[in-house]
Each structure stands twice: as C-alpha cells, then as structure tokens.
Structure 1
Amino acid sequence: MEIACTDLTHVLRSERRFKYTGYSKSFHMPGRDKHIKRRWNFGGHDWEIRVYPHGGEPSAPSWVAINVVLLSECAVAVVTTIRGCLVDPEGVREPSEEICQSVAFRKPQDKSSQMLLMPWYTLNKSRYLKDDSFIVQCTLEVLKELPDIPEPEVHVPLPTSNLHQHFAELLQSQMGADVTFLVSGESFAAHKYILAVRSRVFKAAFLGDMIERGSECVEIKDMEAVVFKALLHFIYTDTVLEFEQQEGAEAMITDTVPESGQRDEAHEQAASVMALAQHLLAAADRYGLDRLKLICASKLYDGIKVDTAATTLALAEQYNCWELQKRCADFITKTYARNSSLDAVAATEGTSGRD
C-alpha cells in the first residue's frame, strides 16, 4: 500500500556578506558594547545583524563576534537558525569555522547570544584580514509553517557557483602554467589555453601563426603591472576584484558618520579605482575582451566628475563607447549650463587614463 507524506514546515534560507573596513580603528571606539549594525528583511520579518569588531560581552572582549536581533512583530515564535563565519576576501581560502545557533524569537528586540567567530590575535595573522578589512558571512534559516495545500512543492536551494574561485586559485598557485608575462618589471604566470579561450587576441597569439605560439616568456609593453594583473584576474574569474572591493566599501555597514580620515581614504580609493578603470578599458579593447570593456565603461559612467569628465570623454571616443561618450558630453554641458567652471573640466583633459 502506498503511503503519502505531507510536509508541514519549510525552511527559508538567506545568506549575506558584510564588509567591515577600518578594523584597526575599532580598537579605539569608545564603549565596550560598540557595534556596527545593518537591517535585513527576510522571511516576512525585519532583522538586524550586529557586528562586534572586538567583542561586546565582558567574557569575550578579544573576539570578532555577531548577533541577530528581531525588529518586527510576530504572531508566533520565529524559529531561526543563525550561521556565521569569516570569508576570504580573495575567494581562495575556505571560510573560517562556521558557528551555528538556533533561537526562537518571540517579540521585537529579542536577540541571539553573541556568536564568537575568531579571536582578534588570530584574525590579525590570517588571510581573512586584508587591507584593514574583513568580511562576515551570515546565514539565516527560518522555519515556516506551510499553508494547507495539497502536496506543497519544496524548493531545495542550490549552492552558489564557485567555479570562479577554483580558477582564481589556479591563477594564484601557477600550477601547470606554461607562459610567463613580463610587465613593467613584474612577472605573471598563466595558461595559454585559458587565455586563448577567453581572448581572440591571445588565441591568435598562442594558437595561430604569431611568434608567441612557442614562447614561454612574453613581454607586454605600454601597460602597468597593476592593470595587467587585473586583466588576468578577469580572464580567470570574469570579475574585477578592485571594483568589487570598492562596491563593498561603499556598502560598508555603519551607523555613524565616518571620520574625516576614513572619508579621505574612501575618496583616494575611488580615485584609484577610476584610474584603473580608464587603463583597463584600453587593455580590454587591446585584447578583445568585450565584456570587460563594458564593465569598465559602466564603472566610468557612474563615476564621472569634473576632474575626470574630459579624460573619460576622450577614452570613450577612442574606444567607441557611445553611451559613455554621450554621458560625458551631457555632464560637461550641464556643468557649463549651471555656470560651473568649465575650465576645471578642460584643465583635466589628457592628464590621465590614456594607455
């Protein structure tokens, strides 16, 4: 006899990452319970994730810790499993040991106990701390009662793709590399077939009749090492690490006004990323990487300012980025119409970004 089984509950799962920048400054933050918080809407409820850079409880002052607070009303207890760990900013190393806690939230301001992720003296010596920043990964799993419907469909969440992480590890390890590039005094090991698959220019060089076909060492002229490094990273992972790091910094969880030093550091980072985008646009055009070219154009599109408009316009014209060209022209026109100093725009023309 066939026996039917009906599901009564379902688990909803959401995972987010939060970047904490300025870790060294957190030791000077006043108050033992100082934390940074970020709201999170999930499973029909409002939550708050709190990140403690050096602990919030007297028993654990030297740990990076998190906890979760329920902000919204609930008719019944919200049974939730919380998972937390630190992740490698470069996506190469496995996440730290995952800390897990199950909590039944019954009313607003109910909170979990602090989850101790890693002591600061271990974090300081680990690869999870990079550029004075670390990334916390938090997962919420909420137990939901299913409505009374026949044979409810259960969706099993698929794991996120980590193919790009494996290729990033391959590039970093240099395992099986068969070509070395010399760029501005630095060397970069890579794999000819991966380059050929991703770039028609490299395909012609390594699989065609060009002199590089049998070469184990290739010199790249007229390009900075940092630009070629970003180019290689994109070829292997389809991402620009510096762009992602800047976006993470802009979305950094904070409930206070940043200090002037932090603002200056953020402005310097933004200027550095914009300069990289200008040079990387030229490199993408040079090696036939159309997707990278569009990514760089989009980054420049969103970052047009008085001191970059003229240079970006020149690059857009040179590399046939029509939307970017129109955006620059509109920006310069509007700046002039607002009686702003058009000389400030013109004075920057040709000073940076040309490859």
Structure 2
Amino acid sequence: MAAAAGEQWMAAAFLVFRLKDEKQTRLRVQEPLMDVFLLQKKIAGYNLAKGIGVGKYIASEPFTVGGYEWAIYFYPDGKSPEDGAAYVSLFIALASEGTDVRALFELTLVDQSGKGQDKVHTHFGRSLEGGPYTLKYRGSMWGYKRFFKRSALESSDYLKDDCLLVNCTVGVVQSHTEGPKIYTIPVPPSNMSKHIGQLLTDGKRTDITFEVDGEVFPAHKVVLAARSPVFRAQLFGPMKDKNMKRIAIEDMEASVFKALLHFMYWDELPDIEELTGLNTTWVSTLMAQHLLAAADRYALERLKLLCELKLCEDVAINTVANTLALAEQHHCYQLKTVCLRFVALPENLKAVMQTDGFDYLQQSCPSLLTELLEYVAKVGEHSVSPCLYSNEVLDGGDANGRRVKPRI
C-alpha cells in the first residue's frame, strides 16, 4: 500500500475477539514509516452476549496506533433498531481525544475451519479513490451495521466453541513530517481524589454527623451534595433544616455506610478485607449486594455499576438467587440477565432451586419465575458456555446458602 507524499502510515492491530478477558499479549514492532501493533485477547461467550439489546456493545480494551487510542465495538444484537437484531455489528472507534483524524481500516472475520474463507471488509482498497476516512472527534466510528447476518453467523464456521475471531487493521495518516519532540515535561496523573479522600481521613472541618447502627460518621455536606443528588436535596434543598447537625440512617449496617462514604470521597471501592476484617469471596459478595442497594438509595450510579460488575464476576450457586432478586428490585437489567442465564444452565438449575435464596426469590419476585422458564427453554435450544460463571459454592456458605449472615 503506497502512502501519499508527505504522509506516514502507522498501522496494524489484530484482535482476537470474544466475551471475557482471560489473557492478552501485546507486541509492537517499530519500522521507519510504520508502527505495527498486535493485540491478542482471549475472550469467550458469544451466546452469553446475545440479548443485551440493540444498540448495546461490548468494547475491547483501548489500543494505541498512530498516537491515538482505538477500541473495537461489537454489537451482538446489532447497532440499528430498524434491523431488529437480525445482524451483528462491528465498528472501530476513536477512543481518545482527536480532531479530524485520518485513517484506513480493515475488519476480517476469521474462518475457524481452516478453509481460509475469511470475510474481509476493507477500506484500504478504496484509499486511492476516496482517500482516508476522517474521524471528526472522540467516539467517531468506522464499521458495518450489517457486518454479518446473525442467523447465518450462528450456523457458520466463523463461530467455533462459542467464539469469534476478528482481525483488525488500522492505518493512521500523519499529515506532517516532524521528527520526535526533543523536549518534554512529564505531568503526573490527577490526584484530586486523593486530596478529597484525605478530608474524610483527617476528619477536619466536618459539618454533619451520621448515626448508623450505633456508630457515628462525621462528613462534609458539600462533598456529599456534590456526589449524590439525594444528599444534595436533603442537605441543601428547600426542605432542609438549617440547624441539622446529625442524621440517623436506618436500615443500613455501619460497614456498608462506611464503604459508601469511602466511595463518595475517593471514587473507588474500599478494600473489603480492611473494612470487614474478613477475606472471603462470600463476604465480598455480601458487601457488594448491600452496597448496591445503598448506591441505588443515594443515586450513585457509578458505584451501582461497580457493584453490579463485582456481583457478575462472583455469581455462584449459593448467592445467585439473592443477587437476582436484588437486580430485579433495583433495576439492574444487565446483572439480572447474567443471573438468569446462570440459573438456567442445566448443571446449575437444580442446585440453585434447593437454596434458601431461591425460596426468597419466589416470595419477593414471583414474576421472575416466568422469565426464568423462558431462559431455561432457550438454553435447551442453544448451547451456552458457562465460562463467565463459577458453579462452585462460595466460601462462607453451604450449597443451600444456609449460614447465619455475619455482620459486615
């Protein structure tokens, strides 16, 4: 491929694309006019990705080509509502800040039968006619809404062991011939959260105190109001009490509120072992369940998603029923889907139904049983890999989940 005068091509990334990251290898080869970047991810679970919804995607980790970050966006149910989930969509997106970034792209769906019948979508062959594609801003994408018809894909040699392999090539045009910059000044990453978090650690100039389960927690109204619209309305809204200095929090354990405060100041989850004095997956899951409910109560959407992610990663026989009920009650639709698919697996269904958590699920969310039956029927039609989940019992409870819940 010839480059235009005064232009440099920096290119080439290859991605092994599936659903859950297990291993990745990166290789960069420097040449005078080209930066070759190889990214390999081992991810599994095409069937688990189906059903997340039209317009929703799974993103790869960002990779750098030509000084910009890029990512692969895979839409298992398609990107366009008018196609009604009939196609899978695949795009390459500019994942970093940039203006009028000129590039060429190629996406190849690999034939895993070894016959070499790869399906290639390329922009390189049209470069001399129309020139490179211009991405105007961060989030701009190149790709195909109708990358492959889903019904054909699922019966083809492109899908093997519930996995797809996609090769991706990116060529970024450098429209200048400047050499590398000789001088630079290193700028450290932002440490704003550290400074704000130190306010909580020091406990200085606090102006509100919370009483939770027999413990007291001093805090700063302005920080809480900035982080939570619920606290903002309570502390600074029209119905606020100007003389209010103490607030009692009901229906929440002290360790959960402490974790909630930690997130609001530090913007990260606390260390569960340091918080509870226990280091088991079961305790970690229990804390994530309580913290998700607290996050929903105070409209902390990022914290809620972090808890969903934690519960998704640790879904297991003796906790999934309680997690499923929690997901339904707090409108966590992605977590709900993960739990339903886990329970519907033949090797899990009977064991889950014998847990006390399943009894609670029947009583608190009876409508979920109908949805569960639908998923059981789907599993009978399609083979679903359980690679995202563990069917082991989490430490801290037996197969029935019949253990006295500890204080966390």
Q: Pick the TM interval, shorter chain.
A: 0.3 to 0.5
